[in-house]
Amino acid sequence: MTTAKVLLETGSTAEALPALGQGTWYMGEGRAPRRQEIAALQRGLERGLRLIDSAEMYGDGAAERLVGEAIQGRRDQAFVVSKVYPWNAGRDSAIAACEASLERLGTDYLDLYLLHWPGSIPLDETLEAFDRLVAAGKIRRFGVSNFDVDDMQTLARLPGGGDCAVNQVLYHLASRGIEVALRPWQRRQRMPLMAYCPLAQAGAVGADPLADPQLGELAADLGLTPAQLLLAWAIRPVEGQHEVIAIPKAASPEHVDDNARALEVTLDEATLARLDALYPAPQRKVPLDIV
């Protein structure tokens, strides 16, 4: 399967990841059979969707425990991401929070550890904790989530802030505010974005592209489902570079297979123009969309 790849660069190391990963928000909470959710994550690994995103917040650790079961005996196939609450992101509390996540996940290390959103603990404390976690081999990289461009600029000015690997934000066809300032800034820094809610499950109140008959017609013309079209749009290259990793949740193996097809889709300029006409990007900066 041909896959779009995003390059994650930190310091002197770089790793290419598929532009589609797997989200776990609300998984492990009984909304779908546990065995089915585990099978979905494992099917994703088999399809090359290596990145699995979780957080201590999700189900108060339930999602991390589910991921731990899914990757048991397959750890080398997975790129595991988790996130720390802002109030747990102190120089010592972040260490404890990470260790608790590792225990729930049943692994010795995280491939990527994110500050879930900006909080009241000074960023330099969080950076110190992340540096200690990297030195101890408990995390390989760190990043942030729900940071707008001014937050990213503040982070970049701090010692060690330039080692931030990624920023995870809400991004989908009906919520394009990051295209005005944040995405261009990150492109200049060669820092990828991770897109949560790429199927427009949240944000931009009143807009639901999945239910839009015009988008449905366009998807059908391309031989795609509306969800596949939305994912292909989210991970489309800009200026010739793939720079977004979308992390939709899929609670069944069949859903994973449907999502994975988006990696094989290349949208032509005419299709992109039609999507722009349906859901234009804002012309000026707007507040960061957050769930």
Q: How far separated are the first and last CA of the chain, in Å rounded? A: 33
Beta bridge partners of 15: 8
- How far is the C-alpha of 208 from the C-alpha of 200, rounded, in Å? 7
From 26, 58, 85, 109, the catalytic residue: 58
Task: Check: CB of residue 182 under 8 Å from CB of residue 169.
Answer: yes
Is 58 a catalytic site residue?
Answer: yes
Q: Scanning the structure block, which residue is given the tokens 């949240």?
A: 202
- How far is the C-alpha of 151 from the C-alpha of 16, rounded, in Å? 26
Closest CA to 24 of 81, 73, 79: 81
Decide: residue 115, CB within 10 A, 0-12 exposed, 13-18 middle, 19+ buried: buried
Instruction: Convert 57-102 into a string of H (helix), E (strand) and C (coil).
Output: CHHHHHHHHHHHHHHCCCHHHCEEEEEECHHHCCCCHHHHHHHHHH
- How far is the C-alpha of 152 from the C-alpha of 149, rounded, in Å? 5
- How far is the C-alpha of 193 from the C-alpha of 177, rounded, in Å? 13
Q: What positions carry a catalytic annotation?
A: 58
